[in-house]
A and B are shown apart, each in its own frame.
Chain A
Amino acid sequence: MKTSSFLTIGALVAFAAVNTASAQTATQTVTFQVTAINQIAVSGSPSLVINAAAAGSAPTSVTASGNTWSVTTNHSTASITASIASAMPAGLTLSANLSAPAGATSTGLTALGVTAVNVVTGITKLNSAALGLTYQLDATAAAGVVSSSTRVVTYTITGGV
């Protein structure tokens, strides 16, 4: 009887020791997602005035540098297109030249129209800020005198997968 009691005590103490060393858990389920991210921004409001020419030559083209553009995309092979809301006056051409971020390709100086055209292609999963953006205004003598006018240039990031 005495031996039996000691065995019982021993067993329970062992049980207690196991309990003391044990750990308990709690769980949570975390649900997450990353959606498509395609953001583009530009800075600068360029002003271009053609007011000179070398005698015997076409009016001298002017450029506006110091503008920048930035992009964030988690897509692959995205492109940037550009367009203007209304056509340029006859004899005037407005062009844009966007510097390409790493791994992408710029189409260089590209004339803008109401139909969107590619200005940068092959943009893949990157975020890059303060990239160069230059505008150029060209005129023929036939354009004559054109009063001050504005055009809104719209840049769109498109086509990525």
Chain B
Amino acid sequence: MRYMRRTALIIAAAFWARDARAQISVSGSPAQMTVNKAAAAGSAPLAVTNSTTTYTINKPSGASSYSITAHINIAMPAGVTLGMTLAAGSTGSSSGEVLLNTSAQTVMTGIKQKITGATITYTLSATVAAGVVPVQTRVVTLTAITVP
């Protein structure tokens, strides 16, 4: 009987631990973004944005909250920047637009409730000094971190 009680406690602890694990997912990858014009002759090239993808993160358990960091696998070409903005949804605080690089940067903090289908906005900007940049890809990694 004592052994069964202990077993039940162990199973409960295991489930609690599983619930506490940050689970983040995205709806897919954005379509190709292309900088191809200036707003007017004499102006810098016009940035382009994509807000078609979303992210979902589960609710933290207990008193903990989640933060989200983002980084890319390879640095952007000189003169080209990739910005990311995560919409806060009903909880958390967005860092606003963060220019991505190979070091993880915080894009969202204080997530205490589940966020479902909140918008991810990417902004691609280029200076004229960047020149012509052929098609390239970058893998953006979003990491959900539990904050005790």
A interface residues (Cβ-Cβ under 8 A, vs B): 5, 8-9, 12-13, 15-17, 19-37, 39-41, 70-76, 125-130
Contact = CB atoms under 8 A, between A and B. Distances in A.
A32 B38 contact: no
Interface in B88-146: 120, 122, 124, 126, 128-146
A131 B148 CA distance: 59
B38 A31 contact: no
A23 B144 contact: yes
B42 A71 contact: yes
Interface of B: 3, 6, 9-10, 13-14, 16-18, 20-26, 28-38, 40-45, 53, 55, 64, 72, 80, 82, 120, 122, 124, 126, 128-146, 148
Contacts, number: 180
17 contacts: A5-B3, A12-B14, A24-B143, A27-B26, A27-B141, A28-B28, A28-B139, A28-B142, A29-B140, A33-B33, A37-B37, A37-B38, A39-B38, A39-B40, A40-B41, A41-B42, A127-B45
